[in-house]
Amino acid sequence: MTFRMGALAAMLAVAGLTAGCQTMDVGGMVGAGSKAIQAFNLSDQEVVALSDQSCQQMDAENKVASANSKYNKRLQRVVKPLTKQLNGQTPNFKVYQTQEVNAWAMANGCIRVYAGLMDKMSDDELRGVIGHEMGHVELGHSKKAMQTAYGLSAARDAAAATGNGLVTQLNSSQLGELSEAFLNAQFSQSQESDADDYSFELLTERKLKTQGLVSAFEKLAALDGGESSAMSSHPGSKERAQRMQQRIDAAK
């Protein structure tokens, strides 16, 4: 099993290990490595179950736009031509009414878009970003992110304490930690590029405009530190915009 460097470093930190230590706790390292391997061996069913619980917790902790709100009506209209099964999961789209600029997707098809992002994006740009998030689910990136989050959270230890491979129902504290670890997980540059390509190809297949992918990334690149969030921290937004433009030009 191959770990992203950031995830492995974080797992070792949980075991109390740092690169600068003079004396290393070999037993602790082995323990941390074992738990990490266990987390990355979670089955698809277990990852979906964790995602179900985590998404429910996130929905409970955030203000979800009502079915009749302008944000939800716009989102459902925007995603209608994109909707498809993602790794056997039916996507579920909702809006969080917060001015944070963000969007994310879990392996169970839970896709959440923040009002702050919607305010800054045109419909075409929004489709580009949502297509990108759908790509993370379809390509298995969201599964890996949840596996990483599980390996770093108290949920893993709670499961071990019960003797079960997966806790049937985690408590609020465990779910909060799991959700935070998931949202803080960073995708690799390769994963980001693959999700960009997925969005481009989905938009092309559905005969939708692809130029929004370029302008969406340009807007994210322009956000300053006081306004940006997880969405704008994705690596190389400006370079990714240029790459999408190259794909559009090549398709002409």
Catalytic residues: 133
Residue 144, Cβ density class (10 Å: 0-12 exposed, 13-18 middle, ≥19 buried): buried
Beta bridge partners of 89: 86
DSSP letter for 114, please: E
Q: Where would I find the H helices in 97-168? A: 115-120, 123-138, 141-152, 154-162
SS3 (DSSP) at 131: helix
Residue 133 CA to residue 138 CA, distance in Å, equals: 9
H/E segment holding residue 246: helix 237-251
Other CB atoms within a 10 A radius of the CB of residue 240 amount to 24
DSSP state of 65: P
Query: Contact 117/101 with Cβ under 8 angstroms?
Result: yes
Q: What is the DSSP letter of 96?
A: E
